[in-house]
Each structure stands twice: as structure tokens, then as C-alpha cells.
Structure 1
Amino acid sequence: MLNKFLASGSRNLKIKILASLGLTLVLALPIQLFSLELNKDLHETQDLVSHTHEVMLKLEDINTGLTVLESNTRGYVISRNTSFLANHSELKISILAKLATIQQLTSDNPSQQQKIDQIRPYINAKVKFTDSTIKHDEQTGIAMISSGYGKQLMDTIREQLKGIEQTEIDLLQQRMEESEELSDYVNIINIITTLLIVLVILAAVVFIFIDINKREILESELRENESRLKQFFEALPIGITVRDAAGDLFFTNKQGRDTLHKIFQDGPTHNLQQLVKDHRVIKAGTDELYPLEEMPVMKALTGSSSMVDNIEIRNHDNSILLSEMASPVYNSQQEIVYAIAAFDDITNRKKEEFELKQAKKAAEESSLAKERFLANMSHEIRTPMNAILGFTNLLHRSPLDAEQQQFVEAIRSSGENLLTIINDILDVSKIQAGMMQLEEIPFGLKPLFESLQVLLQNSAHDKSLKLTINCQEQVPWLLIGDPVRLTQIMYNLIQNAIKFTSKGGVSVDARVKEQDLGQSWIEITVSDTGIGISQDKLDSIFERFSQATTTTTREFGGTGLGLTIVKSLIELQGGKISIDSVLGKGSIFTVLLPYKNASENDLILYSEQSHLEAGTVQLKLHVLVAEDNLLNQKLAYRVLSDMGFTVEIASNGSEAVELLKSGKHFDVILMDIQMPVMDGYEATSIIREQLTIDIPIMAMTAHAMSGEKEKCIAFGMNDYLSKPFKANELQSKIYMLLGADAASSETEFSPVVPAPTIYDLSYLINMSGGNTDFVKEMVNLFLTHTPIELDKLKQAVEGEQLAQVVETAHKLKSSVAMMGIKSMAEGLSQLEKRAKISSGLNTLKPLYEEVARIGETAIDELVTWSKAEIEA
């Protein structure tokens, strides 16, 4: 009734107020618009005045800066007092920065822009002249000052600065006059506007009408909004509940009612506490009651919002999983009166997540199985391949006729190609599995290129090709990155270029593409005059198993993995590779790689390290061998002694640690992985973490599983060598660890006895340099200890002591491999694997019996050989 009365009584007032307001607006609007335009013009003019003042100040600053720069230069040249140069660089930067600011401020004035462009070369010349004066000696510097060239430049600059300044003074005068004129206009408008304020006051009466009208509108809108909001809640695809401060159900939307109806056919329990007391709210995946205080609705009633997805509602045999999110609702006094919750049935989603996890687990197990298969296949293939290549090299040095030499060379070439293919496949597998690790160590690009030149020169020479590898002087002397992967990339690209080039040459060039304080982008191009690649094949050349044509593999060989590996290694380092090629004319591969710039400390440490490493080859190294197998101990002792090293033996990791604790110095440690008491991993961890000794450690193991080397490196070892090893390989790795070049020291020995039926002493003879006495000693040790170990193995198998079977088989395996008893070594490997997976006696006993049979035969034959040697 009150609202109706107000509406009726104010009807006439409404007309009058509207008429007054209309008249006021008609009068005030044009004036205000005109005032706004004037104010805008005034502000623009004032801004231009400010700009002009700023330009003039900057011009003065430039003049002052150049004067100070010249004065400091004279002071330094005459006195050689470096304090004159304290702010030399900052002063130059400031001068150029102020000139840039002036150019920006006068960007709307072509005349001034032209003058600034004219003065810039003189300022740059002046700056360069001061720099040149400072860099020369005192006499030359004084002569340069006396020449008057600097003064001529300064006079020219000042003259041009005056020209720019005069233009700004003229502009300032003009703009000041415009500003004063506009200011007068604005004052007049302000007076008129003040007069209209009276009319605006009258217009305030309108607000009474507006207020009354708003009340009527708001009441109508409120009713409509309440209805619309309810419709929105009802239409939401998720359940919504509102509970009061006591936890009682106040509102539920349609989706909420439908979801809860799945469990509660007769309707939900309205009180939340009662629902929990009835043991119907459970933590998903358990039989535990859901704590009332942890439920989002109860947290919301205490003032905090939360979300969970582990609520399970049970009713007899029915249950659903819910995710719920709840927030508090406040009244006008900021008191919590309700908690609003949104919930969703996630039963199907959880089921799908479980199925996805199972599928992911199965996929990961499949991937792991693939990795293990590749590792095992690598080991199984490498073992006979190493034997094939080894015996081929020995056969190559024996007296052969021309045809036999040709056959041997074909076997050697095919074997090396097969080994390359195996290595490529393993590299791709590592990259796929994310196991390719990158180092960040200091290295020199020029020495790396020099090594590549030496390494690949013969390959180019064999095809009468010219190989040139250049590194521009601007390339930093020292970079931080992974030199091993860069070598692999460049070796593949250069070798590839040589392979596909029949005449002409291959050229490699390196330059700095981009550089800042933090890193350098090195661009390396590999150009050849070979067969080239057609344009339609360029996009696919980096794909796996891809060749330029179908005849490429047939004519040149290869797997088509080399460029794939190169591209992957480059992208792992944050770089990129591109190719430009013309069919029949050659190809250009462009590699762009980012490397961190070396700091001064890196340069100092690298120089000191290089100086020490350069003398390492001349030292007699003291080597610690941690090895539990007696034959391996003897072999390592003999081989290392022949290299001119002194050797000390530790039978397990604990003994090695104690020797280091006692203060003994060693240059390098050869660490077996699997040893009793303390294995190689634990020993290395103690050496690195507790003793904090950074002596180079090289792992030696008969394992060849994927990731074994990475595991050794992760424990703090520096390199990895598979057993049985070659003498020259061991020597090279030791020298590489210490930074020396062992290429000139590599020696291989020819066998002096033929390979017997069961055993093969070629490895021992080669490792000992043909020393028969040493071979006899090793055979006698084998004959003494092997029967004992076989007996231990028998007792472990019969007693089903699986851990003892693994340890004894592993220990015996290296001795057997040293004697070249391959079938026995393979049997021991199988026995070790079966014992690791907890196979029973029925599985282990037949394997042991086969191993023992081969062992007895080998022992009998070795006894015969030993007697024959004694008689000889």
C-alpha cells in the first residue's frame, strides 16, 4: 500500500522533474562536450610542452656526457689513473640511450629525426675515438688527443645539438602560446559549467522517483530470479544439495535426487549425522567409516571449502562412489547459515581409471620386456660377434694367400657392419625409453674436431676424398655440454657423407650463429659432393629405417637408423638439424646446438686439469682391483703389470674401502659389481659419499642388461667395462678416464696354440702377450679351484639354497669364460637366471648336471694340455 501511495503521489512530480532534467541536459551537454574537447587539446599541448622540455634536457645531458667522456679520457691518457674510467662504459651507454630517447620523443617531427640521424654517426665516432684513445699506450693516446680529431668531432656535435635545441625552443614557444590560449577557453567553460550545477542539484529530485521505481522493479526481478535460479539448479547435470547448520537437508536438485535414488529407493536420509551413524558413508576402497569432520559439507559449515573423490555411499548390497565439493553460504552478518555441495556419481569413472591403470601397467611391462629382450639379444649377439671379429683379426695376421685374405676381409667387414647395426638399434631403444643421459662438462670444440679429422681421415683417403674440418676463431675455446654425444653426431654425419661421396670431398665448418652471456648457439655444416637426395625424400630422410631410394641399402648398406639417431640426439640437447640437397650434386646438413658458455672458473679448472692429464701417460699408475674371482685377479694383475702399472688386489668392496680409509693412494679403481661381503655399488657409494674421494672408478661386470651402465654412473662410477675384456680396450678406457691418449700403446698378440674342442685359451694368450708361463699359471689355478666351486654349486643346488646358487654360478662363470669354455659359461648363465626366479630342484638339477659334465671334460682336457706344456 505504501509503495502504491508513493507511486500515485509522485506522478506529477515525475513529469516536472523529467522536464527540468531534460532542459538541463539540453543546455549542459553541448557545453560539456565542447569543454571536453578543449581539455583534451589542452592536455595534448601540455604533453608536447613537457616533451619539448624533456628533449632539451636530454640534449644538455648528451652534451654534458660527451664533455665528461672527453675529460675523463684526457685525464686517463695523461695520468693513467684508472679512476677516470670508473664509469666509462655506463657513460657511453647513457649517451646513446639519451639519444635514442630524443629520437623517440621527436618521432612525430621528420625534421628533427633527420637531424638526429645526422648527429648519430658523429657521436658514435666520438665514442669509438675515446675507446681507441684509452686502449693505446700513453704516448699514442696523447698523440691522438693532440691531433685535434676529437675536438673537431665535439665541435660538430655541439653545433648539431644547438640546431636540434633551437628547433625545440621554437616549438616550445609555439606550444606555450597554444597552451595559454586553450587554458583561457577552459576557464570560461568551467564558469559556465558551475552555473549549470544549480540545475544538476534540481535534477537530484529525480533520484526519489528512481528509488521508488527501482523498488518495484527489484521486487519483480527478485521473484523472477528466484524462479530462474531454481530452474538452473534443477537443470544442472550434477547433484546439488544445500544443508543447514544442523546438517539437515534443505534443498536437493533433480540430478541429486536421481543419484541418491540409486541407493535410497524410499528417499535419502535427511540428517547427515544420522547417515553416518547408520554406517552408510564409507571411505572408498576400505571398510572404514568416513569421519564426519572430514566430509566437505561439515568442513563448509565450519567455514572452509574442500573437495574429495573418495566417498562411498552404501545401502545394503547397493553402493555408489561420489566426488563432492562443498562451500559455506553466509548471511548479511557474515554468519554461516548453509553449506552448498556439488556431487557426482564417479563409480563408472573409477572403474575406467582402474582399467586404464591396468592397461598402463601392462604396457609398461611390455615395454620393459622389450627392453630386456633387446638387452639380452644384444648380449647374446655381441658375444659371438666379438669372438668372430677377434678371431678374424687373428686370422688376418696369420700367413694367408690372396684369396684367403679376401675372404677374411669380407668376414671382418660384414661383422663390423653387423655390430654397427646392433649398436644403432640399441641407441634407438635407449632414446625411445628415455634412458639416454646427457652430460654437462667443459670441452673444447677445436680439439674434438681435430680428433674427428684423425679418426676419419683414413676413410676419406681410401676413397681419394678430401676431408676438411674447420672451426672459426669466434667459436669459444671452451663450452659446457656433452662432447661424447656431439662426437657421435658428427661421426655419423661425416661418415655418412664419406659413404655417399665417390669424388670430390667432404667439408665441415663450425661457427657461432648467436651468442649471449649465458650460452652460444653453434652452427655446424657438413657438406659433401656426393649423390645428393631428391626433394621429395628430404622430409622423410630422418625417419627410422628410411633411405633416400630403394637401391640405397643395396648399394651402400646401413639400416637407415643413423640419421634418426643423430636427429634424436640433437633434439635431446635442445638443438635442430636441417638438410639442403641437390640430386647428383651433394648435400649440406646444418646442425644448430646450444651450449653453455664456460665461466672463468671453468676455464681455469679445465686448463689445470688438461695440464695434469697431459703428464698422466708418463706416470706409473697405481691401480686398485676389487675382484673376488681368483682367476680374474691373476688376469687383471698380469695385464695391468704388462702395461707398466703397479697393482693391488681387494677381494671384495669392504677391503677396497678399508685400503682407501688407510690413506693409500690409487690413480684408478677397477670395481667388480657382484662380490661377497660388500658389492661394487655399495663400495662406490661409501667412497663417494662417506670418504668423499673422487678417484676414477671403472665398473667391471659380466652383466650386459639395458641400463646397467647408467646404473653404474648413477652410483658414482665413471665408466663401465664388460667381462671378459680385451687388454687394449681396458688400457684405452683407463687412459680415457685419466685424460691420456693410449692409441700408441695398443697392442694385440697372436695365439700360439690352436683352439681345443672344449676350451679355448686364445683370450688368455692374447691378454698375456703370448706369455706361456702366465697361461700355465692361470690354467693351474683353474684346475685347483674349479672342482671346489663345482662342489659348492652342487651342494647349493641339492639344498635349494638359491642365493648361494646365484653367487657361486656368477663367480664361476667369469673363470669359465676366461678359459674359453663357452658351453659351460652359457649353462652357468642359465643356472643363475633360473635361481633368481626361484626355480625348484627339478629345474636346477638337470642344468647343474650338464654344467658339471662339461666342466669335468674341460678339466680333463686342461690337465692333458698342462702336462704337454710341462713336457715341452
Structure 2
Amino acid sequence: MNQELDALRRRFGRFLIPLLWAHVPLLAVIAQMTGRSLIQALGAGVLIAGAYHLTWHRHGIAPPTRYLSAVALVAEPAVILALLNGHSWQMDGHMYFFAMLALTIAWFDERATLAAALVTGLHHLLLLVLLPGLVFPSDAHLARVLLHAAIVAFQTGVLVWLIRMVVFRFHRVRQLHAELSVANDRLTERRQEAEAANQSKGLFLANMSHEIRTPMNAILGFCHLLQRGTLTNRQDEHVRKISDAGETLLRVINDILDYSKNEAGRLSLEERPFDIRKVIEAQVQMMGAEADIKGVALHLRLGHDLPHVVVGDAHRFGQVLLNLIGNAVKFSSGGTVTVSARLTSAANDRATVEVSVSDTGIGMTTDQQAKLFSPFAQADSSTTRRFGGTGLGLAICRQIVETMGGGISVQSEPGRGSTFVATVTFGLAQDAPLIPCERLRSLRVLLVDDNPAARQLLAEFFTGWGVEADLVASGSEAVAAVAAAAGTASPYDLLLLDWKMPGMDGMDTVNALKALALPKLPAIVVVTAYGADTFAGEHGVEQIAAFLAKPVDPQAMMTTLSRLFPEERREAVRAPMVSERLQGARVLLVEDNDINREIAT
């Protein structure tokens, strides 16, 4: 059974009821026009329409109704032909047979059409024998009847072919619908299985995250406890590196969960105040060692109008920066990578910050740039093989910056490097700049670096803190400046010395200062991109007060200087304390890990 076909048949069956009843007054009009019996014409019309109406009422669209309708449709033109006997329109009445025969196609049942054609042929043959004048006004003979029968047969053949085609298409559509329903059911099952698998993956990631975070909490916690104690400079640097590595691993764990959230479209952002300068500097600092390995000079330029404290998601912002800087270093060999940040607009407690990362690396073609932000895509397959990576980083970056109300773009030329520009919108918060203590403000500082950009950057740090700083470009100039100042009332208190310089390098400068035999040398802080361990392994460190890694982190530099030049009257360093109203409160700690219980205690 085909429901669509049956619906059409019901509509046609109902249509035939008023059509056949409408022939009753039509037959009366023809009878009156031709002078035939009105009663007989009305009786014939009522008999035909009534018989069909009754059959429809009892059987609906069943075959008896279809066959009866075929007879009724042919009977109507037969009665009209009888009423027009001898009239000039008698021959025209034959045309009505073909019209009524064509109507039977709407049953979409070739048997009904064949029945109507058969009744038409029998009607003509019967009248040829009994009343030949009803068939043709003149010259009625079998050949003419057979010609009409052939025409009816041809029309019937066309109608039957069309009916078969329509019925076949309906059945085919029905079959396709059934197949589609089965496919949809299977697709629903697969979707449910995929959702279950995705849920299982989420549970697995959540469980693994918890299992990894527990020992990570111990690592970071003990690093914090060690840093609260008394450590040598070397020990403090080792503990800090362990803590930094732990934080990096923790970010990797978070990224695993973040990628799962991004994949499911559930990326959420935090709204917390943070020091945007510190976040940018931290990402640059993090890439310092890798940049040094590849011989890439990292430069950082922060706009003077860049706010210190903004409200947003520091982790997500840092994730974007780290990816862009990491790519710039990865695709550069030698040369420079410059990270810049500036405020582009500020209104209604919202600030738009533009961060650009420019490199002098391999660059990209226009076609490569077009697919750069697509998932799992890099510039080309050879790039992937050469430099590695999944190709997800930039796609995630775009998703993050767009969620943060900004966008990301790239400008690049093959062999001339690339510049990525990301804009992000943050909320504005009260600035919280780094404020040095009074002891640091009174220092006289000499900065030594052969790189003008690095020298100027250090000078801007100290200028912003209100600290006087002199600048020289070589070790020999530094020795001369320290010797000259030693004979005055204000000798240098601090010497920030670059290690790798042409001619007299950092260690040569230290030895030359030592050879001056001055009453007191300034505190010497070596700035190096190669790490304190490398320096200490090659040279003695008895004259070195501290080390700072390139690119210099202002917070790390202030912490180092505060340790080297403590306040003359300062309280002992204490652990962070809760507010007084909470001191003495009883705390219940629920933790199944022994180490974490120890740290918390």
C-alpha cells in the first residue's frame, strides 16, 4: 500500500461525486434542447451518479468503486450521444468519450482505464448492430468503428504507460523513504554511540586530569614551600625552574581539556583582573631558551599607553601569545622575532589591545595563508614534515580571539617573514604598576649591552620606576665608567652586564673590573640568554651577584634587585596570611593524598 497514491485516489474519488451529479442538469438541458424526454434524461443522470455515490460510500477507493467509475464516466458521453441523435452536434459528442477516458488516469490503476476503454469499444460495437445511427449519422460501418477503437486503444496505451510510470515513481519514492528511514535510524544509533563515546572520553579526560593534577599539586606546592625558606641563588633558580616546568606541564593538561571543550563548542572565558604586561612578558620569557637555541633574537615592545591591569582570561590570552611566538621562533632560523602590544581604543570600560608578532623567517605564499587558520592545516605538507606540529594551534587561536571579541590576521611574503596581528577586547581595571621600594629608587645603575634595542628596553624599565640609569655599549666603556664613578661621591651601585658582546665580553669585563682593585665593586647582574648554568660552567661566579635571563622579565628583575638591595629596616619575610577575622578558625581538610595533606597543613 502506498499512502501517497491512496491520498490522491481519495481526492479524485470525492471529486467524481459532484462531477457526476453535475451531469444530471446538463443532461436535462441537452434533452430540452434536442426535444428528448426530460424524465428519461434525468433518470439516466441520477442512475449513473447515484450508483457511483452509493458504491463510493460503501467501498471507498477499493477496486469496485474504480471499475464502476470507469463505466459511469463512459456512460455519461453515451447518454449525451443518444440525446444528440440526429443533431448537428452528434459527432462532436464523440470527443467526450476521450475526455472521460483520460479522467480515469487519476485512479492510478491501469485496470480502471482498460475497463473504461473496453466499455467504450463495446458500446460502439453494440450500437453499430442495434442502432447504427447513434454511432454515426451516415455511412455507419465496422471500419469506422474499428478506426475509433484504434484511436481509443492508442490513447489507452499512452494512459496505461503514464500510469505505470507514475505508480513506479511513487513506489520508488516510497522505497527510498523506507531506506532513508532505516538509514536515519542507523544514523541515530551511530550518533548515540558517538555521544556515549564522547561522554566516555570526557569522563576519561576528567579522571586523568584529576590523577595528574594530584602529583602536580605536590610538585608545585613543595616548590612554593622551598621558595619561602632560605635558599642560595643557585638553589632558588633551580626551584624556580622546577616550578616553571610544573606550571608548563599543568598548562598542557589544561590544554588537553580545553581542546575537548573547544571541539564540543563549550569554550568558556574567565573574567578576572590580571597584569597584561606581565602575561605578555611571561610568554616571551618562556620562549627565550628555544629562541636562543635557534639563534633568534627576541624583542619585546610594549606601548606606553598599554594598561597594566585588564579584566579577562589571562590563560587564554597567554595561550594565543605563546602559540604565535612559538610559531615565529619555530619557522625562523637566526634573525629576529619582535613582539609588540599597544592599546588601539578604550571606551566604556572596555579596552581593545592589538598584539603583533613579526619574524624574519620563511614566510608564506597567498595560497598558504588562505588555509592557515583551518584545523589540522599548516602551510604545506613539507612544512609539517620539516617543522612538526598538528596544525591545530592557529585554528584554536582564532577561536579564542573571536570569542574574546577580536580577530586574527596575517601578512607574509615567502622568504621575508610573517606578521601575525591579533586584536582582543578586555575590560578595564584599576592599574597596578610595579612600584619599587625606596632603596631601589636611590640606586645608581649602569646598563651594558651592545644591542641598542635591548639597552633601550632596560633603560625604559628603570625610567618607569624612577631609577637613574646610565647606558654604555661595550665592556671597555663599562670599565671606564665604573672607574670614573668610583672616584666620586656617587659610585655605581648596580651593573647590569650583557654576557655575549663583541670584543670584551661579560666575563672579560668582570675580570677587568676586578683588576681595578677598587674599594668596592658594584653589584654585578649578568643578563644572559644562555642560562646561569652555562655561564657558571665556563667561568667562576664569585663576582656575580645574580643572573637574569633574556628577554628580561620586569617582575623577575625587580624581585632580584629587591633581594640584592633589601630595605635597611624591613620586616622578616612572612608567608601570606589570611585576614585577622579568619585567624584561629578551625579548618577541616578532606584530601585522600598524603602529600597534599602535608602541603596544606
TM-score bracket for the superposition, by shorter chain length: 0.3 to 0.5
- The structure with the larger Rg is 2
TM-score by length of 2: 0.37
